[in-house]
Amino acid sequence: MQAIIDMGSNTIRLSIYQMNKGLPDLVLSKKKTVGLSSYIDEEHVMSNEGIQAAIKTLIEFRKVLKKLNIRKKYVIATAAIRNAANVDDIIETIHKKTRMNIDLISGEDEALYDLKGVLLMNQFDSGMILDIGGGSTELVIYENKQVKEAFSIPIGSLNAYMMHVKEIIPTKDEAKNIENQVEKLIEPYVNHNVDQLTMYGVGGTMRGVLKLAKAYHLDVPENEVSYDQLKEIMKSLKAKKKALLKVFQTIPERTHTITPGMIIAKTILKAFQAKLVIVNYYGLREGYMAQKYLDAKLKRQLNP
């Protein structure tokens, strides 16, 4: 078995896989909501408190791996750490305290790993990948089995909340501010002739949206959420306290971030004229593990 620790902007997750012919079968998953993006100040510096919170979680997960006698592990870090002004200090301090080597994933590589993960389960010639994280959003435009564009924009569900929202649910003006920021960030990429491409969503935000849609008893297929359903959920959250209670019951750890995340999703779907998003449970971590498996296999072939 092999493990990966994903240091995201909102959660740090430990996933343990059994590799089966190059496919990562999930055996165990543990996560802790740390909110690393919330420890970033106006100068984009992560505080020592945030670094220590990350270290504490990594040490907890290291104990789990030791008990299970799993030696092969990867630790990856995404937007919260890669966008921090003191990124080198963060990685050095974490390594010194945990002896773990961190693979800092670029935004473009994160998007490509997302694509690789989705392709493990869904074979398609053309489509778009959407991954709304806590501190960034990744998109891949995939046409005729080729990557046409892979990019990352520096807004996610958590930092959108931190930047724009004062209470739990965004006001009309706050929601508009998030929407305007997303539109501005994706504008350079929208002028592609990508009409009719199916959109695949990965990551915690889109899984949370799917859970909410099912909790509201909306008429959704097993893993699809439409643009109109996104709008319906958001309208309900603004109008009814009972709707907010449904969030507490369904995805309590995302109570404050799910609405900003849905605003990002709705804005992107509208910009790319996508009517629905298919939520996929394979993404960054699975794509990363599959690539490492292929790299190791190639190395063995070259050095028998």
Mind listing the pLDDT tens digit for each residue in 202-231?
999 999 999 988 888 777 778 999 999 999
- Please tell me whether residues 137 and 194 are part of one structural domain: yes
Q: Of the residues 89, 105, 121, which one is the last residue of a structural domain?
A: 105
Instruction: Note the pLDDT of residue 165.
Output: 94
Domain identity same for 45 and 144? no
The 10s digit of each residue's pLDDT in 69-100 is 999 999 999 999 999 999 999 999 999 999 99
Same domain as 81, residue 128 = no
Domain contains 259: yes
65/99 same-domain check: yes
Does 292 reside within a domain? no
- Show which of 105, 132, 167 is a domain's final residue: 105
Q: Which residue has the higher pLDDT, 103 or 247?
A: 103
Q: Per-residue pLDDT for 234 more than 90? A: no
pLDDT at site 193: 54
- Model confidence at 301, pLDDT cuts 50, 70, 90, reads confident
Mean pLDDT of 136-148: 93
Is residue 303 situated within a structural domain?
no
Same domain, residue pair 268 and 279: yes
CATH number of the domain residue 74 falls in: 3.30.420.40
| In contact, 74 and 7? CB cutoff 8 Å | no
Please check whether residue 6 lies inside any domain of the structure: yes
Whether 300 maps to a domain, the answer reads no
Side chain identity at residue 228, one-letter code = D
Q: Is the pLDDT of residue 241 over 80?
A: no
Distances (CA, A) of 272 to 14, 116, 133, 142, 171: 33, 21, 19, 13, 25
pLDDT (average), residues 245-254: 85
Domain co-membership, 273 together with 202 = yes
The pLDDT of residue 23 is 86
Asked if the model's pLDDT at residue 151 lies above 90, the reply is: yes
Q: Are residues 112 and 203 in the same domain?
A: yes
- Note whether residue 192 is domain-resident: yes
Rounded Cα gap, residues 226 and 276, in angstroms? 4
Q: What is the pLDDT of residue 239?
A: 62
**Residue 19: pLDDT over 60:** yes
Q: Which of 14-18, 20-24, 175-179, 191-195 has the lowest mean pLDDT?
A: 191-195
Arithmetic mean of pLDDT, 286-290: 95
Let me know whether 269 and 140 are in one domain.
Answer: yes
Mean per-residue pLDDT of the chain: 91
Residues 121 and 213 in one domain: yes
Q: Which residue has the tokens 């063995």?
A: 300
Scan for tokens 């995805």, then name that residue: 251
pLDDT band at 192, cuts 50/70/90?
low
**Distance between CA 224 and CA 15 in Å, rounded?**
24
- In this predicted structure, what is the pLDDT of residue 33? 92
249 within a domain of the structure (yes/no): yes
Query: Taking CA 58 as the corner, what is the angle to CA 74 and CA 49, rounded to the nearest 5 degrees?
Result: 130
- Contact by Cβ (8 Å): 12, 5: yes
Which of 48, 79, 105 is where one domain is finished?
A: 105
* Residue-number span of the structural domain to which 7 is assigned: 2-105
Q: What percent of the chain stands above pLDDT 90? A: 74
- Strand order of the β-sheet with 137-143 is 146-153, 137-143, 127-132, 199-202, 276-279, 224-226
Q: Establish if 123 belongs to a structural domain.
A: yes
Residue 249 predicted with pLDDT over 90 = no
196 with 180, same domain: the answer is: yes
pLDDT digits (tens, 9 = 90+) for 36-71: 999 999 899 999 999 999 999 999 999 999 999 999
pLDDT at 44: 93
Give the CA dihedral 116, 118, 123, 126, nearest 10 degrees.
-80
Give the bridge partners for 276, in sequence order: 226
Domain identity same for 99 and 144? no
Mean pLDDT of 233-252: 78
Q: Are residues 77 and 183 in the same domain?
A: no
Q: What is the CATH number of the domain that holds 195?
A: 3.30.420.150
The count of domains in the chain is: 2
Indicate the pLDDT class of residue 295, thresholds 50, 70 and 90.
Answer: confident
Would you state the pLDDT for residue 244?
Answer: 75
Percent of the chain with pLDDT over 70: 96
- At 299 the pLDDT is 77
What is the C-alpha separation between 260 and 253, in angstroms, rounded? 14
Q: Which residues fall within 8 angstroms of residue 274, CB to CB, at 6 or more apart?
A: 128, 197, 198, 199, 227, 268
